Amino acid sequence: MSQPNSQEATVIKVDHVKKKYLLYHERHDSLKDLVLSGGRRASYEVLWALNDVSYEFKKGRTYGLIGENGCGKSTLLKAIANILRPESGTVTVNGRISALLELGAGFHLDLSGRENIFLNGAILRLPREEIEARFDDMVAFSELEEFIDMPVKSYSSGMYMRLAFAIAVNVDPDILLIDEVLAVGDVAFQRRCFRRIKEYQAAGKTIIFVSHDANAVKDLCDEAILLDHGKIVASGQPMNIVSAYFELLSKKEAARRIKSGEESADHDLSAAKQKRYGFGAATIKEYSLVNAAGEPVKSIKSGDKVQVRVKIDFNDVIPNPVVGMTIHSATGLDVYGTNTSYNNTPISVKRAGDTIQAEFTWDAWLREGNYSISLGIVDLTDGTVTPADRWVDAITFDVAAGREMLGLIDLRADVAVTENG
Partner 1 sequence: MSKLRELYEYRDLIWTLSVKELKVQYRNSVLGFLWSLLNPLLMMVIFSFVFAYVFKFGIKDFPVFLLCGLLPWNFFNTALTTATGSVVGNGALIKKVYFPREILPLASVLANLFNFLLSLVVLFIFLAFYGYHFWVWLFILPFIIIVETLCVTGLALLLAGLNVYFRDIQYIVGVALMALFYATPIIYNIERVQTSYWMTHYPWLMTIYNLNPMTPIVNAYRSILYSVQPPSWSSILYSLAITAFVLVLGFVVFRRLEPAFADEV
Stretch that binds partner 1, among 122-130, 289-297, 299-307, 319-327 (CB under 8 A): 122-130
47 binds partner 1 (CB under 8 A): no
32 binds partner 1 (CB under 8 A): yes
Between residues 111 and 148, which has the closer beta carbon with respect to partner 1?
111
Which helix or strand (DSSP H or E) is residue 234 part of?
Answer: strand 231-236
φ, ψ (nearest 5 deg) of residue 90: -130, 155
By the 10 Å C-beta count (0-12 exposed, 13-18 middle, 19+ buried), 13 is classed as middle
214 binds partner 1 (CB under 8 A): no
Dihedral over Cα of 298, 337, 409, 196: its sign: negative
Q: Which residue in the set 97, 226, 323, 327 belongs to the binding site for partner 1 (CB under 8 A)?
A: 97
Residues 6+ positions from 274 with CB-CB distance below 8 Å: 240, 244, 247
CB of 47 to partner 1, least distance (A): 12
Half-sphere exposure of 6 (CA within 13 A, CB side): 0
Q: What is the DSSP string of 295-362?
A: -B-SEEETT-EEEEEEEEEESS-BSSEEEEEEEEETTS-EEEEEETTTTT-----B-TT-EEEEEEEE
Q: Which residue in the set 95, 106, 236, 319 belongs to the binding site for partner 1 (CB under 8 A)?
A: 106
Q: Which residue in the set 48, 52, 118, 341 belongs to the binding site for partner 1 (CB under 8 A)?
A: 118
Stretch that binds partner 1, among 118-126, 203-211, 232-240, 270-278 (CB under 8 A): 118-126
What is the DSSP pairing of strand 282-291 with strand 305-314?
A: antiparallel
Letters for 55-84 (x = contact with partner 1 by CB under 8 A, - = none) are -----------------------x--xxxx
By the 10 Å C-beta count (0-12 exposed, 13-18 middle, 19+ buried), 184 is classed as middle
101 binds partner 1 (CB under 8 A): yes
358 binds partner 1 (CB under 8 A): no
Between residues 110 and 382, which has the closer beta carbon with respect to partner 1?
110
253 binds partner 1 (CB under 8 A): no
Residues 6+ positions from 345 with CB-CB distance below 8 Å: none
108 binds partner 1 (CB under 8 A): yes
Stretch that binds partner 1, among 9-17, 96-104, 275-283, 335-343 (CB under 8 A): 96-104
Look at residues 180, 103, 167, 173 and name the one whose alpha carbon lies nearest to residue 139: 167
29 binds partner 1 (CB under 8 A): yes
SS3 letters across 91-102: EEECCCEEEECC
40 binds partner 1 (CB under 8 A): no
Dihedral over Cα of 3, 4, 6, 8: its sign: positive
Letters for 260-299 (x = contact with partner 1 by CB under 8 A, - = none) are ----------------------------------------
CB of 84 to partner 1, least distance (A): 5
Between residues 84 and 139, which has the closer beta carbon with respect to partner 1?
84
Count the site residues for partner 1 by CB under 8 A: 30
Compute the CA torsion angle 130, 136, 137, 141 (nearest 10 deg). 130
Q: Which residue in the set 4, 127, 158, 346 belongs to the binding site for partner 1 (CB under 8 A)?
A: 127
- Do the Cβ atoms of 64 and 223 come closer than 8 Å? yes
Binding site for partner 1 (CB under 8 A): 21, 29-32, 34, 78, 81-85, 97, 99, 101-102, 105-106, 108, 110-111, 115, 118-119, 122-125, 127-128
